[in-house]
Amino acid sequence: MTGAARRFRLALAPGAEPADEPRDVELGSDGEIVARIDGETVVVRGRDGIDRTAIIGISRRMATGVVRAEVVVDGWRFELDVEDADRATLRRRATRAVDADPASGPAEIRAIISGRVAAVRVTAGDPVEAGQTLLVVEAMKMQNELRAARAGTVERVAVGEGDTIDTGDLLVVVR
Amino acid sequence: MTAVAPVSLRKDGADDRPFERVLIANRGEIAVRIIRACRELGIESVAVHSDADVHAAHVRMADVAVRLGPAPPAESYLRGDAIVAAARDTGADAIHPGYGFLAERAAFARAVEEAGIVFVGPSSATIAALGDKLAARRSATAAGVAVVPGTLEPAAVDRADAVDAIVEEATRIGFPLLVKAAAGGGGRGMRRVASALELPGALAAASAEASSTFGDATVYLELEILPARHIEVQLLGDREGTIVALGERDCSLQRRHQKLLEESPAPGLAADERRELHATAIRAARAAGLENAATAEFLFDADRRFWFLEVNTRLQVEHGVTELVADVDIVREQLFIAAGRPLSNRMRTAADRAAAPERHAIQIRLSAEDPARDFAPTPGRIGRWQMPAGPGIRVDTAMTAGDRIPPDYDPLIAKILVVDADRRSAIGRLGRALDETVVTGIQTTLPFHRAIVADPGFREGALSIDWVDEHWAELLRPARAVALDAASLAAADHLAGGSAKRGESASARPATPASVARSAWVQAGRIAARRRWPR
């Protein structure tokens, strides 16, 4: 690959918050790798000229061929889905037809933290406003309110008060 | 004799240990901290644990371990009966409660006393007097100490007929105000109320959280003083009635009343202000007959007035800051005081010097929380784990690589402390320590602490308890964005198998020799330190 820069498509793994648009990165022009310390640590010089140490944690290739890599920089931890940009474009074209409009259709609300359901504030059939509290989850001694991202009708409540939940568990479906 | 070789503290070889065997009724870093103190004194340690902590550090380090029950605190670390039984079964002659859990439950201390076991802390009567924040407010008022304006009696919760009365009371105090748990601490069971409309909901929520965390639903009202600094005084008292102040700590950097960084001495206090503060704290403690370790908390307002908040009758999370500045071991002293010894000369000398400290210490609380998601808890499994070391660094933790952080307990995973000659050099040392810190597997609060250390306001000592609410959102985005840029490049390079070396790319930058072969780490580290931490 002499002479030609390689472009990569990167996106934060689904569920990441705050979300970020997928981006293309070109090695060598968007900043540079100035040192490789070992297989897991590289020093990146950003466009601001400051060197940052990036730690590669766990990385794995998923069924789609996309590599999901955990990278920690300045204490910020990211799970990044990375693939060759050309390949990403092809794959995107192939799957676009089945992409659903995210603003309609049922929204599955899943647990982003594990803990215990302290209170259930809605039942199936309830209309909900955006920002309305659906559940209260107690984790690490704090009560965290889970609110509806948009208005709709509660289709299903998958948990009950007192249930122990794990990250990723289905909690509520809002249509 | 015991299984552990006892350390003889007297030259004649007589056993001078305060106790033979101490049960630690806690988990995590504080249990480890107390076990260390026991080991140094030749005291055997007994750990207690829940099912979630079978492989935890405090269980591994203790001489004996006793299972309490399932993971939820109510079924394990809050089971006072099971803990007293464990102490009896293992022949422990004292119980150290640490902080949190049962540390400030008078009923637990009483049960320990009645079982003929020494409770390392104040007597149950003192805990009842000082640990009940409402009673503490009353006794401090009686001792002539200025308390934060608010109520002195419990607020009625969930009683329709009492709503009018409590709203009237709240209006008299003024908004915004805080609903606080009488048994509270660390921001649990606390709610901010901006108007009378929010009051009933806040009362119910705070009360429910207080009940589940502390087993006591009593709440009260207190005026919110802003801007203000949170300054607290470390106190130690012995059975003879001697009470000393070992210095103060500034814990103004908080989020939702959860402390994030603590330092000592408090920046910018004049010597006479410091002396007056220490004297006031001793007066508040003496009013309730303090024994052993306690902390008197104050708000320091814009007019440089101190307002008494509460007295915590226990070892604080941030006690290490005072240990580093005063060069003492508070936990060790606690054990001797509990065994009936008078305050050591070392403590008395340290107290004499507390008004003119010659060192500066800072602690950050590294937590399993995501500073980009409103500090939501991030329980999970730790991947890599690298803590700072070297001159002037102390790390108190129970974690290591591969450990699982259970969702059932406090998110604190490590306390990183630094000490140096003055505040400026301590901040430089803290920046260096944070550069060395690596945790993968979970998001931690590390980026938040890095941002604080680099912040000009913090470096000048301009602190307030609302600093995080005011500044964090604006610091968060750019800091995370540049990190994401760098992470993206690193991930792309990783996918490319590390083959996209400089010079092979399309960019026509002047080629400097690749530094990989020659001490790249040092070079990059120096550049980073010079550019990122203002001197």
Q: Per residue in B119-158, pLDDT tens? A: 999 899 888 877 678 888 888 999 999 999 999 888 877 6
CB contact under 8 A, A113 and B502: no
**Does residue B503 register a pLDDT over 60?**
no
A74 lies in the same domain as A11: yes
Q: Per-domain residue ranges for chain B? A: 21-120, 149-223, 228-475
Q: What pLDDT does residue B460 have? A: 94
Burial category of A123 from C-beta neighbours within 10 Å (exposed 0-12, middle 13-18, buried 19 and up): exposed
What CATH number corresponds to the domain at position A67? 2.40.128
- Kindly identify which residue of chain B lies nearest to residue A140, measuring between CA atoms: B409
A87: chain B residues, CB-CB within 8 Å: none
A24: chain B residues, CB-CB within 8 Å: none
Residue A169 touches chain B, beta carbons under 8 Å = no
| A102 in a structural domain | no
CB contact under 8 A, A1 and B487: no
The CATH number that domain B228-475 falls under is 3.30.470.20
Across residues B435-458, what is the average pLDDT?
A: 95
Amino acid at B399: M
Q: What pLDDT does residue A2 have? A: 42
Q: What pLDDT does residue A35 have? A: 85
A88 lies in the same domain as A17: yes
> What are the φ/ψ torsions at residue B127 (nearest 5 degrees)?
-60, -40
**Does residue B320 register a pLDDT over 90?**
yes
Q: What fold, for B149-223? A: Dna Ligase; domain 1 (3.30.1490)
**Does residue B71 register a pLDDT over 60?**
yes
Q: What fold, for B21-120? A: Rossmann fold (3.40.50)
- pLDDT tens figures, B2-12: 445 445 444 45
Q: What pLDDT does residue B533 have? A: 66
Q: What pLDDT does residue A148 have? A: 82
Per-residue buried b or exposed e for B457-492, using 16+ beta carbons within 10 Å of the residue's own CB: ebbebebbbebbeebbeebbeebbebbbbbbbbbbb
Are B309 and B297 in contact by the 8 Å Cβ rule? The answer is yes
pTM: 0.82
B208: chain A residues, CB-CB within 8 Å: 118, 143
Dig out the tokens for B377 from the structure.
Answer: 């808890």
Task: State the complex-level ipTM.
Answer: 0.84
Q: Give the C-alpha distances (Å, rounded to integers) separating B88 from B77, B82, B92.
A: 16, 10, 6
- Average pLDDT for chain B: 89
Report cis status (omega within 30 of 0) of the bond before B227: yes
Residue B500 — pLDDT band, cuts 50, 70, 90? very low
Are B64 and B44 in contact by the 8 Å Cβ rule? The answer is yes
Q: Which of A17, A25, A40 sits opposite B489 (nearest CB)?
A: A25
Residue B514 — pLDDT band, cuts 50, 70, 90? very low
**Does residue A49 register a pLDDT over 90?**
no
Considering chain B, what percentage of its residues have pLDDT values greater than 90? 71
Give contacts of A 89-108 with B, CB under 8 A: none
A45 lies in the same domain as A22: yes
Residue A121 touches chain B, beta carbons under 8 Å = no
Q: Is B314 a catalytic residue?
A: yes
